Amino acid sequence: MIERVALSDTELAKGAATMSVKRFEDIQIPLDCAENSIVKALQTGKPQSTVDWKYLFVPALTAKEARLNQAGGAIAYSAVYPLPGVGDGAALIFSYYQYPDKIGDDQARFMECYSKIVAERLAQCKGSLL
């Protein structure tokens, strides 16, 4: 199962969590759910993106429930970056109030680099943190 362990401390993240029919910590995604963007990122080792949060929450939430969360956070686009070498698998989700056509190369490089840094640090600490 994919378990959610951390959420940004921002007003947008709080808005999404407030709108949710399930608590953040209670949303779990089976690792065999091929249509889920997080699962795809973990299985392929490649970033995935979506403008529809149903793909981040299937099957834990209905499409309507997932989109309500997305609206609560005013999110237009999310990118999932896998964190290779971290336990049984981990990923970061970057969410934006802008659509992908407004996300430039600099931001894409930031997501890639930041994810690599986090993956390396977590792999170093896995005995004490995970």
Radius of gyration over every alpha carbon of the chain, rounded to an integer in angstroms: 14
Q: Which of 51, 47, 36 is nearest to 110 (CA)?
A: 47
Q: How far apart are CA 127 and CA 14, in angstroms?
A: 30
Segment-wise mean pLDDT, segments of 10 residues, the chain, 130 residues = 87 84 91 96 96 97 96 95 88 94 94 96 70
**What pLDDT, on a 0 to 100 scale, did the predictor assign at position 74?**
93
Q: How far apart are CA 30 and CA 39, in angstroms?
A: 8
CA angle 126, 26, 61 (to 5 degrees): 120
| CATH code, domain with 99 | 3.30.450
What is the domain count for the chain?
1
**What pLDDT, on a 0 to 100 scale, did the predictor assign at position 7?**
87
For residue 48, what are the domain limits? 2-129
